[in-house]
Chain A
Amino acid sequence: MQDKFVKNAIGRLVPTEVNGRLQIPYMGVGKYHPEGNKYAPPIVSCSDFPADGNKLVATLKDALIKAGLRDGMAISTHHHFRNGDLVGNQIFEIAAELGIKNLTWVPSASFECHAPLVKYLEDGTIHHIEGSMNGSLGRFTSTKGMKGLGILRSHGGRYQSIQDGEVVIDIAVIAAPTADFFGNATGDRGPAACGLLGFALADSQYANKVIVVTDNLVPFPCFPWQIQGNYVDYVVKVDKVGIPEKIVSGTTEVTKSPDRLLLAEWTAQFCNEAGIIKDGFSFQAGAGGTALSIGIYFADILRDKGMKARFARGGSNKYLVQMLEEGLTDFILDGQTFDLEGVRSMRENWNHVNTSPFTSYNYHGKGNFASMLDVVILGATEVDTSFNANVVTHSDGMLLHGIGGWQNCIFSKCTILPVPLFRDRIPIIKDDVTTICGPGELIDVIVTERGIAINPLRTDLIEAMKNSKLPVKTIQQLKKEAEDICGVPDKAKFTDEPVAVVKWVDGTVIDTVWKLA
């Protein structure tokens, strides 16, 4: 077994083969140069499709059978409906009923609503997951392990892997809030409106068969469309594709936690003092309560200075929409909408732009938006003293989260992680993180409630903050402060059995997730 592992460029032991496919170990940022051509799906002919454009099929089961569902296939779904998804589980219920085995599930992300799929991991209907293993699925992976190795990818890495043919999608099932019988589909309208369908773009372009499932069938044309019907094989009308209140929240609220507000305030103040906030700058803050508050502080600073941002990257929410409508940013380049205001704005406002992992994150493209950002605000479960960070496992070794767009976003000009120095006694800063998801050279600043650490590589930022009243400290000082309060934590105990690998944005393997002892 051991001879099949190799130490990669960041010092982590990774398998040289995953689920029968040879792997390239992580080589460093920008070091791996791919060769050859992109993957291409088979050529099809209009003669095999109804000339009247009507691709309706009675049920999802019929569509899956027509699409040729059989053992060993890769089936993809998307997380536009987040924890309110009603379609993902049905696919595998149907597969199990048909006695089909060894499927690969390729979701763009999984949520707790997919916990019922654990039984299909146990009975062999699903061989392994490529995408993310959140909550219960992660717990199952860490403690028992799937039949195959799980593969964790970022949103951009997912696009890259499908484009490059690292994963070949046999059947893509795109759940859509609104669609027509031809397969044109959109996320900005309908009872399950979720904003956009960008995560399904790669699947629509590269999957062998594409099924659109909707509960809001409109007469052709569904316009404007986000998914083009010309990629679509079958359309299925169902009663309900998602639970609206679990898809987008009616209202997103900023955090009331004083500790998180302090992180947000310091982060915004840091950006201001370091000269990052200036006329025409760009930023991305996530969906968490802290990130929302940072957006509000940014807006205050811009208003005070009479400046505006050129663009903000979503996930959008009502606060970002307010900034757009108040003229504090020219554009929102949105990847997903987190609340109903975001959905409305995307539908109504030309400057609220629907983007995809192709435009924003794909590393094997001719540039992407993420690296153009002046500043991005992200989270992490752990950071080490070289600023390498973890977002998928916890310090007890349990796999609980996906990567999302995190790996892609750290390519921004300044990546800031506002994180509490410890959470319920568990320090964030370690000598070694449990799992490396991103190399420290791309992570610039850690903001904690007890001080701010700037990556020593960023001498420009250190210089800019020299006279700041903000508590700038070294990362070693912060680590010590946490350990003085919490004690030095013991490390998680693992077996030597891998249960998943973490892919870097270029498809190389950056780390391994090990089964818990």
Chain B
Amino acid sequence: MTTIGIVGNKGKGVKSDCFITFEITEKGGIEIILESKVKVMYGDSIIKLANEILKFFNIENAKLSIEDSGALPFVIAARIEAAIKLVVKSEKEFLTLLLEQNNYQTARDKFRFSRLYLPGNTPNLMINAGIHKPDGIILDLEDAVAFDKKYEARFVVRNALRSVDFYRAERMVRINQVPEGLNDLDFIVPHNVNLILVPKCESAEQIHKVNAKIEEIKKKRNISGDIWLMPIVESSLGVIKAYEIATSANNVVAMAIGLEDYTADLGTKRTNEATESFYARCQVVNACRAAGIQPIDSVFSDIADLEGLKQNVIKSKGLGFDGMGCIHPRQIKVILENFAPDKNEIEKAKKIVNAFFEATEKGLSVVSLGTKMIDPPVVKRAQRTIDISIKMGILNSNWREEQNAG
């Protein structure tokens, strides 16, 4: 082990973060040096928190330098703990408060239209992510974190799961590729993660490994509750194995496709027209539908091109996808609006659901609209269209009363 632990971010443009240098010394007690733009308002509380953490890890002689750019307590704590653990081995965890409002589970079939990627080592972007109302947020430990920052990012993600209010968004984490990703699980499974994304997935076996580790942690920490999985297929092999992966475990609720890596694997380039990935996308949609889970499309990477994104969403919905990743909050609205049912779809759904209610009220076992008999799955899909429309505010929840009154 080294004698100096250095973690965090500083410099121009860095906000709500801090940079920690921790050094064990022979004697002289604890020396804390704080530089902070919020020193007047929070200097005392930062020093107090630092002392508390040092005491928690039984550090008696050390020099701790904190260069703070307005980091929230969960970030400061994550940074100091990570720095200490680079130098001192410890099984203990200094856990920040698990917010009461973060104690929720998500439903297997909840809407997953939009899920916002948040780089795991950039706390600044996490703080306000939930106010943009994505269906889910993804704390990313994989591609959005530089290789030498992977270690410290785990602490930030763990504390964010506990202490950041994402305002009821489904709290997701993208772990690193298995097997390395298995080491991420200790930092997220005990902290009320709702869903784990398993990247570069190529086999059912990888999912089994993830689930085995999750079970082990759950047992050890005495945790119950479902943790859903969303494998991401990002290679030609992954696409071929799509059905195997989709049906690999009960807690696999959705499967996504990652097109940057996939097109690279094919030896081609990703285009807006996306003809190169047509087969793969269809394959993923088919595998997911066959397995009864949600097919989720790849992100659209040009954040300035909202019109391009819109076209992409329309195409994606047409292929049968149920959602798409976002890399910027501005994309959320476009994705929601265009995955949303259009006027014709809503009108048709209203007629079908109405016919179903009328049949039920009359005690009929067969639902029909005009001369056409309507199968239960059609009713179910129509009901889903209605539910989505109500949720998105494009249809009033009392639409039936309004219709009957009108």
Is A487 in contact with chain B by the CB < 8 A criterion?
yes
User: CB-nearest residue of chain A relative to B44?
Assistant: A490
Distance from B309 Cβ to chain A, minimum over Cβ atoms (Å):
14
Is B370 in contact with chain A by the CB < 8 A criterion?
no
Is B330 in contact with chain A by the CB < 8 A criterion?
yes
User: CB-nearest residue of chain A relative to B99?
Assistant: A484
Is A239 in contact with chain B by the CB < 8 A criterion?
no
Is A86 in contact with chain B by the CB < 8 A criterion?
no
Contact of A493 among B40, B70, B72, B393 (CB under 8 A): B40
Chain A residues contacting B43 (CB-CB under 8 Å) are 490
A370 to B137, CA, bound (A): 44
Are A490 and B69 within 8 A (Cβ)?
no
Which residues from 26 to 85 on chain B have a C-beta closer than 8 Å to any C-beta of chain A? 37-45, 69-73
Q: Per-residue CB proximity of B107-130 to A under 8 Å, as 1/0?
A: 000000000000000000001100
Is A21 in contact with chain B by the CB < 8 A criterion?
no
A489 to B46, CA, bound (A): 11
Chain B residues contacting A493 (CB-CB under 8 Å) are 40
Known: A450-B131, A485-B127, A490-B42. A424 touches B330 (CB 8 A): no
Are B41 and A449 within 8 A (Cβ)?
no
Are A262 and B41 within 8 A (Cβ)?
no
Chain B residues contacting A489 (CB-CB under 8 Å) are 38, 41-42
Is B238 in contact with chain A by the CB < 8 A criterion?
no
Are A425 and B38 within 8 A (Cβ)?
yes
User: CB-nearest residue of chain B relative to A397?
Assistant: B40
Are A490 and B40 within 8 A (Cβ)?
yes
Chain B residues contacting A487 (CB-CB under 8 Å) are 42, 45, 73
Is B328 in contact with chain A by the CB < 8 A criterion?
yes
Distance from A172 Cβ to chain B, minimum over Cβ atoms (Å):
39
Q: What is the size category of the interface that chain B forms with chain A?
A: 20 to 34
Is B16 in contact with chain A by the CB < 8 A criterion?
yes
Is B269 in contact with chain A by the CB < 8 A criterion?
no
Contact of A449 among B15, B37, B73, B131 (CB under 8 A): B131
Q: Per-residue CB proximity of A30-57 to B under 8 Å, as 1/0?
A: 0000000000000000000000000000
Is B132 in contact with chain A by the CB < 8 A criterion?
yes
Number of A interface residues in the complex (CB < 8 A)? 23
Is B329 in contact with chain A by the CB < 8 A criterion?
yes
Is A163 in contact with chain B by the CB < 8 A criterion?
no
Are A395 and B41 within 8 A (Cβ)?
yes
Distance from B125 Cβ to chain A, minimum over Cβ atoms (Å):
10
Are A258 and B38 within 8 A (Cβ)?
no
User: CB-nearest residue of chain A relative to B133?
Assistant: A262
Distance from B161 Cβ to chain A, minimum over Cβ atoms (Å):
15
User: CB-nearest residue of chain A relative to B331?
Assistant: A258
Are B40 and A492 within 8 A (Cβ)?
yes
Chain A residues contacting B44 (CB-CB under 8 Å) are 490
Are A258 and B330 within 8 A (Cβ)?
yes
Are B16 and A259 within 8 A (Cβ)?
no
Is A202 in contact with chain B by the CB < 8 A criterion?
no
Are B328 and A485 within 8 A (Cβ)?
no
Are A425 and B393 within 8 A (Cβ)?
no
Distance from B202 Cβ to chain A, minimum over Cβ atoms (Å):
35
Distance from A208 Cβ to chain B, minimum over Cβ atoms (Å):
43
A contact patch SS: loop
> What number of A-B contacts does a CB cutoff of 8 Å give?
61
A487 to B71, CA, bound (A): 11
Among A262, A424, A486, A492, residue most surrounded by chain B Cβ atoms (within 10 Å): A424
Q: Per-residue CB proximity of A73-91 to B under 8 Å, as 1/0?
A: 0000000000000000000
Are A424 and B132 within 8 A (Cβ)?
no
Are A258 and B72 within 8 A (Cβ)?
no
Is A122 in contact with chain B by the CB < 8 A criterion?
no
Is A287 in contact with chain B by the CB < 8 A criterion?
no
Are B70 and A395 within 8 A (Cβ)?
no
Which residues from 254 to 309 on chain A have a C-beta closer than 8 Å to any C-beta of chain B? 256, 258-259, 261-262
User: CB-nearest residue of chain B relative to A427?
Assistant: B41
Are A424 and B38 within 8 A (Cβ)?
yes
A41 to B334, CA, bound (A): 61
Which residues from 473 to 501 on chain A have a C-beta closer than 8 Å to any C-beta of chain B? 485-487, 489-493
Known: A258-B329, A261-B330. A425 touches B16 (CB 8 A): yes
Contact of B128 among A449, A491, A492 (CB under 8 A): A449
Chain A residues contacting B73 (CB-CB under 8 Å) are 487
Are B42 and A396 within 8 A (Cβ)?
no
A485 to B72, CA, bound (A): 7
Chain B residues contacting A425 (CB-CB under 8 Å) are 16, 38, 41-42, 70-72
Known: A425-B70, A425-B72. A396 touches B41 (CB 8 A): yes
Chain A residues contacting B330 (CB-CB under 8 Å) are 256, 258, 261
Is A442 in contact with chain B by the CB < 8 A criterion?
no
Chain B residues contacting A490 (CB-CB under 8 Å) are 40-45
Contact of B70 among A258, A424, A492 (CB under 8 A): A424
Is A4 in contact with chain B by the CB < 8 A criterion?
no
Distance from A384 Cβ to chain B, minimum over Cβ atoms (Å):
15
Distance from B380 Cβ to chain A, minimum over Cβ atoms (Å):
28
Are B128 and A396 within 8 A (Cβ)?
no
Chain B residues contacting A119 (CB-CB under 8 Å) are none
Distance from A262 Cβ to chain B, minimum over Cβ atoms (Å):
6
User: CB-nearest residue of chain B relative to A448?
Assistant: B131
A450 to B43, CA, bound (A): 26
A487 to B44, CA, bound (A): 11
Which residues from 301 to 342 on chain B have a C-beta closer than 8 Å to any C-beta of chain A? 328-330
Chain A residues contacting B71 (CB-CB under 8 Å) are 425
Distance from A175 Cβ to chain B, minimum over Cβ atoms (Å):
33
Are A424 and B15 within 8 A (Cβ)?
yes
Are A396 and B40 within 8 A (Cβ)?
yes
Q: Can you add 5 more A-B contacts, CB < 8 Å, to A261-B330, A424-B16? A: A258-B329, A424-B37, A487-B73, A490-B43, A493-B40
A-B contacts, 8 of them at CB < 8 A, read A261-B330, A424-B38, A425-B16, A425-B71, A486-B72, A487-B73, A490-B41, A490-B45
Minimum-distance CB pairs A-B, first 10 = A424-B70, A489-B41, A258-B329, A396-B40, A425-B70, A449-B131, A259-B128, A425-B38, A490-B41, A492-B40
